[in-house]
Amino acid sequence: MVDIFLICVIVVGFFLLAVIGLYLVVKYQHPDDKNDAYIPKLVVLLGFVLAGGTVFLLPLDVANNSNFAGCEGFNTAVCGGLNMVLFWDIIYWLIPAWVFILIPFCIFYYEADDGMLMAGTSVGAKPKSKLKEALCYESFVVVIFGLIFAMTYLFLNTTSIPVRDWTGPDFAAGHFMLLLRRTIRHSALVNFKIWGMKIRLY
């Protein structure tokens, strides 16, 4: 069952993140960009919201109890009413989209202007030329990082993390039992996946 309080917390939380992000964008913008460059400003604003939302989702996930022991889903009385897996997937897909696509593109588009195009005195420069230049540079970024991610996914998608066994005396029987030492060893094999990568704990 969906918790109305958590829904209100989400709405208020992201609204506050947007207000804080808008304040930072307005306060630290360049004076020449006061009434211009709205798309880069929007990308920066949403980037602030995304960064804050990533931190904000952790206590939200805990409050939702979706990872409570024994839970295999959500929307129950014990396991919480929000599908936090979907929330995390959205955040984790938006982060690389912002870092590798939107932010670099806006930087290239913004830097393609020589300062005279916005003033209307540039000779021969057109907004379409800025777009073509930004797309050209952005294509290099996408190809380079796409190859890096593809290579790491294909060849480094499995890892084994060693876990050290704990060995020690048994103090439960009392102080005089210290002379009798028993070795307690524990070892387990745990497999799980993170974004398609196989993690194995021994």
- Kindly report the pTM of this predicted structure: 0.65
Contact by Cβ (8 Å): 156, 172: no
Q: Which residue has better confidence, 112 or 141?
A: 141
How far is residue 146's CA from residue 183's CA, in Å, rounded to a whole number? 50
Taking residue 184's Cβ as centre, other Cβ atoms within 10 Å add up to 10
pLDDT, tens digit (0-9, with 9 covering 90-100), for 165-191? 666 555 444 444 444 444 444 444 445
What's the mean pLDDT in 129-142? 88
Residues 6+ apart with CB under 8 A from 190: 200, 201
94 token code pair: 């938006």
Taking residue 142's Cβ as centre, other Cβ atoms within 10 Å add up to 13
Q: Which residue has better confidence, 113 or 9?
A: 9
Contact by Cβ (8 Å): 117, 51: no
How far is residue 182's CA from residue 180's CA, in Å, rounded to a whole number? 7
